[in-house]
Chain A
């Protein structure tokens, strides 16, 4: 056993002294952070250019301009009709009325907060022009004009209130336009707009919307438009069914679920499944990567000893099993060292982050809030900030509530177990071949369970209680990866003990098996080995 110690020491020191180890150990946490951040970064890269999208709405659900104009026309017509009914000998004023209506339409184009008032004033002043042009008597003209003019602000107010919006995002901006088909085509080909969305007036019944663009719309933009229109159509249907705006506002709900885990001793702990998910995912993935990384280091080490022909020199001093164990343990210890440094580094980094970053964030939000308050408006900012602070504290609390000793402890245990199991197999493969390119034919039994475990792990995140997950977290070849994802969600002690026991038993068996292949293979040169031959080696014994 003393000699195993020397072998272990050599394997360990020769690896730890390498520059690549130092680099990986220090850069590792940053690399992982980058790995997680990269998809988000790519997503922002993709949409860095803001897309201008024109919306032509004939339904009035999103843009009331078109509907407002129609309402104005209707209002003018009614005014005209009532005027004709109430006054005798009304001369033909159709032409004047048409002009009158057009002026109001022009006013309607200029959308601002005074739109209703402007329309009312415009109506009155334009009506006066008609009156004086045709020498109409003051009554009933003035009272009718006043009556219909007053209706316009109410229409505007109502339309403004009920309008839906397609939210602008960082990458897309929506503009409401009166385009018809040919102008929209021009706007697209000229590049003024990325796309034009046509919402037909009968959208409520037809449920069809058309978009025109040079290229087909990206999934993101499409689903954004789809969702916004769907939501507004639903709202509109509710409104049509007699639900008023206020009720509609009140119906908007955003439930926050506090998930409280009851521990074995009856204690209650608040958890956030997202955090459990992230921890589980990271831990499982780390094990997957490191089994491959350190396992293949063992394999390469074995091949190196074989091809450099030093192995027989060493075997004249130690037993093959000692050499194998020394190598497996030495490389494993390198892995553990790396993880310990990573854990400490991450703990220090996150401690720094918590003490410096988080309070300043909260402080900033508070400052912003008081600035808004000082400016006089927006009373509702305060609860928002409080909400945010509450959420940050909640996240911090649930991070603190995570059973870190259990997670780190089981991570280390399952790392060691999974590593030993697979490293032994990697070593056996290395001993059976003459060079690295020949390893392919024996890699399948190692790769398949690992990749399978990875798939189940991803499934586990959505459904930690499924049968598939349960069995894969018990089977030793996949348990190191799958069990780690289950642990943050809470695992019965019995499952954990069963899985751990099976893992230990299996890795002992695998080391025994691998040692038999190893001691024959390591001295075998120049012949391509088949699975059948490996089986003979296993049976052969000494």
Chain B
């Protein structure tokens, strides 16, 4: 897949701290990309640079394989973490104004706004002032003005913070629908659990540096721990009965069954482990434990710490 956005060796410093150090990324067209990292890692700085709100000290950004130009903002939709609307302005007027700033003609903007307002069932709010709106309503308006110009690239900075669960779900649904239609989506968040199931690719940023990048399943594969969990019938522990190449991590007595977590120490297949356990107990369930993005992140950060 060709990348829609290529970030090449970006550096950015502020007065008293370094925000980005030699960051390079490729964001494949049509993917959902998770830009992950703790608060203050440099995610927002990177996103502001992509949106040309801020400029890098060095490095280049390519949009559709061409250096990023001013005009490209019209092909990018951005929902910042710090978001809001003019409180005294009417909803419709404001949506129209923001759409026109994105380069839409008046008729085009009106047509599209009508579609979205109807879809979200908020047409009756058109002539209301924003200050009269509930927070959830304002969030819907905010979402509409982010995507109204049908951009190729959508960037959401901490999208689910501040949204109530219903709107967050709606948002998720609409974003995936937009992706179906061909848009590329970047999620930037410190809450890694919230996006891992919808991201195709991720990049981890910590302390201004990219520390990990790749497809989600590949990243996860790379961080396999070869740990498996069992649930089996009975009340007796199987710990002593395991061969030496298996290591019991933990076990506990559940209500009507036994739970244990076992790690394979050599390169043997999990099938053998299953066979081994089956000799001693009636297995109810057998799962590989896949590390969460959060676990991976913590591990990678620790690795970097020990390296330095």
Contact = CB atoms under 8 A, between A and B. Distances in A.
B102 A317 contact: yes
Given A316-B53, A317-B102, A533-B15, A308 B78 contact: no
Interface size class of B (residues with CB under 8 A): 20 to 34
Contacts of A202: none
B5 to A, nearest CB: 15
Given A6-B97, A6-B101, A310 B73 contact: no
A312 B88 contact: no
Nearest to A6: B100
A115 B84 CA distance: 93
A3 interface: yes
Contacts, number: 67
A58 to B, nearest CB: 76
B109 to A, nearest CB: 11
Contacts of A313: 78-80, 83-85, 98, 142, 145-146
Q: Which of B48, B74, B82 has the most CB of A within 10 A?
A: B82
Given A14-B88, A317-B102, A312 B53 contact: yes
B152 to A, nearest CB: 14
9 contacts: A305-B86, A309-B84, A313-B146, A315-B53, A317-B73, A317-B98, A320-B53, A523-B53, A540-B15
A contact patch SS: helix
A308 B53 contact: no
B262 interface: no
B230 interface: no
B10 interface: no
Nearest to B56: A542
A314 interface: yes
Interface residues of A, number: 25
Query: B53, B70, B74, B98: which has the most chain A beta carbons within 10 Å?
Result: B53
Interface in B222-269: none
A308 B86 contact: yes
Contacts of A540: 15
Most chain B Cβ neighbours within 10 Å, of A315, A320, A540: A315
Contact of A316 (B76, B84, B100): B76
Interface in A236-258: none
B87 interface: yes
A304 interface: yes
A10, A308, A316, A533 pick with most chain B CB within 10 angstroms: A316
Contacts of B54: 523, 542
Given A3-B101, A316-B78, A317-B102, A542 B84 contact: no
Nearest to B99: A317
A542 B55 CA distance: 6
A318 interface: yes
A466 to B, nearest CB: 46
